[in-house]
Amino acid sequence: MLNKWMKKTVSVSKKNNENSATFNSCIEKTKQKLQDNFGDTSDLFIEEIQIGKQNGLLCCLTSMTDRQKINGAILTPLTDANLHNEQILDESTWEEYCKEFFSAAKHELIQYEHEVIDDILNGNALIFVDKLAKVLSIEVQKIEKRAIEEPSTQTIVRGPKEGFVEDVETNVSLIRKKIKNRHLRFESHTIGSETATKVYLAYVDGVTNQEILTEIRHRLDKLDIHALFDSGNLEELLEDKTFTPFPMLYNTERPDIIAAHLLAGKFALFIDGTPFVLSAPTTFSDFVSMSEDYYLPFLMGSFIRLIRYFAFLIALLLPSLYVAVITYHHEMIPTPLLISIISQREGIPFPAVIEALIMEITFEILREAGIRMPRAVGGTISIVGGLVIGQAAVEAGIVSNIMVIVVALTAISSFVAPIYTFAIATRLLRFAFVISAAIFGLYGVFLGMIFLVAHLASLRSFSVPYLAPIAPFSLQDHGDIFIRLPSWAMKKRPSFLRTENPNKQPNSKSPSPPKKEEGGTDS
């Protein structure tokens, strides 16, 4: 993290400095040039050294490089080399020299100024030789990364527990380990004029639709953004439509989900510096399913998924339905329940809608506080929160018991959605629904539903309709939407992804014990 801030203060814009000046001058001038470029930043390390018989210059950023690696990869070979005392007067000798002594570490010879600056910023050590244009760049980055841990979001009971980390190379290797397929590709892009963040576009060649890939490449190239710290930054720039509360790219910390998405025919974007990896095209149903659905028995998996859809509806609609029914449609409530609700609301000073909004907002504040507050005081929030939202409020006669139940049920349901960005969409929409319910009762709620569905139907994620395969309907894909069929029955990839190879496992069969000889059925 610190490194990045450093880079930012240095404020060297890669694109602006794209000159093709070289460093074929004498050491002093080179040194001057470097100092001009970087100013007097304290972590710039420039030292004159001896290379063979020539004067040389070693340059790197101490904040980005690993001292031990410098010792091992540069200083030791250099001392060894100096024993030979060679003359390096032309480029070819220099090249051979490099091959001979520095081949232990990853290195290359570069010559242009912008390359030199980029490499220094990336944490390479550079060795300049007097009067030679070619500069030796050796990778000695300090790699500081978190160990692979269980993801903090999207936890599951059964299934792989590893999660992505901030280091993009580690993330890529996590996927590589899962998919041992030579068609898996990682395309490197650099995004952010000032952060120069590395972004990998991953896909399985021959599966992911070519048009979609062309489109994402096009969108990545088009990007003009100065800083990229998290996939969230990128998400907003790549969406088909920004004016929507729903996430148009899937994000996850879980390698198993990304691997499954890649194999289904989606592409993934790995962004350096964040454990959240994006995948697209994505649909509504992706956000309601979870990798665990596939690890549990299919009946259970289907049941849990249905529960999630139901919870989504509760989280979205329950407070508004409650407000609509008790302020407009009393006749819908059975008599005993109506009597009990009336007697509970007796003496509550607010209209039901205000009561609902107070409770919902209180809850939102509590939730936000619970996330942001320092861990050490975390225990307090549950106590205070419990008091505010619960018994005390009821006893003070500010809210009714039943409203507490409604809000609590809504809150619990809103935690069911596995993807955070999707869950927060319901939070926003819930308020809209409550207000429309307060003004027009159920008419408002149902009109809201029409608006919502029409909006969802108009969304597309990389040309794939967001509501697919519900609308446009496709029966074949329904085996993995509301319910999950056993994995042997899912022979095809989702058709709405328009994959290059629609068959996933065309020959899979139900695992029944063999009766007689296996009949040879081809796909």
Closest to other proteins by CB, 333 or 381: 333
Q: Which stretch binds other proteins (CB under 8 A): 191-199, 246-254, 290-298, 461-469?
A: 461-469
List the one residue from 132, 204, 326, 399 that touches other proteins (CB under 8 A): 326
Regarding 463 and contact with other proteins (CB under 8 A), the answer is yes
List the one residue from 335, 510, 521, 523 that touches other proteins (CB under 8 A): 335
DSSP string, 17-82: T----B--S-HHHHHHHHHHHHTT-TTEEEEEEEETTEEEEEEEETTTB-HHHHIIIIIHHHHHHH
List the one residue from 52, 275, 418, 441 that touches other proteins (CB under 8 A): 441
Regarding 347 and contact with other proteins (CB under 8 A), the answer is yes
Closest to other proteins by CB, 378 or 472: 472
List the one residue from 329, 392, 501, 503 that touches other proteins (CB under 8 A): 329
List the one residue from 84, 161, 177, 330 that touches other proteins (CB under 8 A): 330
Q: What share of the chain is helix, strand, coil (3-state, %, to 5)?
A: 50, 15, 35
Regarding 339 and contact with other proteins (CB under 8 A), the answer is yes
Regarding 442 and contact with other proteins (CB under 8 A), the answer is yes
Residue whose structure tokens are 């004067």: 55
E-strand stretches of 84-239: 107-110, 124-129, 135-139, 184-191, 197-204
The residue count for binding other proteins (CB under 8 A) is 51
3-state secondary structure of 377: helix
List the one residue from 86, 119, 240, 477 that touches other proteins (CB under 8 A): 240
List the one residue from 5, 310, 473, 488 that touches other proteins (CB under 8 A): 473
Regarding 388 and contact with other proteins (CB under 8 A), the answer is no
List the one residue from 76, 391, 458, 501 that touches other proteins (CB under 8 A): 458
The whole-angstrom separation of Cα 152 and Cα 146 is 13
Give me the amino acid identity at 87. Answer: Q
List the one residue from 460, 478, 492, 504 that touches other proteins (CB under 8 A): 460
Phi and psi, residue 124, nearest 5°: -90, 155
Q: Of residues 205-224, which lie at the interface with other proteins (CB under 8 A)?
A: 215
Overall residue count recorded for the chain in this entry: 523
Longest dimension (CA), the chain: 102
Contact between 265 and 204 under an 8 Å Cβ cutoff? The reply is: yes
Regarding 191 and contact with other proteins (CB under 8 A), the answer is no
The whole-angstrom separation of Cα 73 and Cα 102 is 7
> For residue 296, how far is the Cα from the chain centroid?
25
List the one residue from 143, 332, 373, 412 that touches other proteins (CB under 8 A): 332
Residue whose structure tokens are 């320092």: 374
Regarding 260 and contact with other proteins (CB under 8 A), the answer is no
In 10 A of CB 14, how many CB atoms?
A: 15
Task: For residue 417, give the nearest of 338, 495, 313 by alpha carbon.
Answer: 313
Q: Please, where are the H alpha helices in 265-351?
A: 292-295, 298-327, 335-345
Residue whose structure tokens are 């350096």: 272
Closest to other proteins by CB, 97 or 246: 246
Regarding 428 and contact with other proteins (CB under 8 A), the answer is no
Q: Which stretch binds other proteins (CB under 8 A): 5-13, 132-140, 331-339, 370-378?
A: 331-339
List the one residue from 52, 163, 192, 465 that touches other proteins (CB under 8 A): 465
Range 352-368 burial, b when 16+ CB lie within 10 A, else e = bbebbbbbbebbeebbe
Closest to other proteins by CB, 346 or 522: 346
List the one residue from 344, 362, 487, 508 that touches other proteins (CB under 8 A): 344
Sites of contact with other proteins (CB under 8 A): 215, 240, 326-335, 338-348, 351-352, 435, 438-444, 446-447, 450-451, 453-458, 460, 463, 465, 467, 470-473
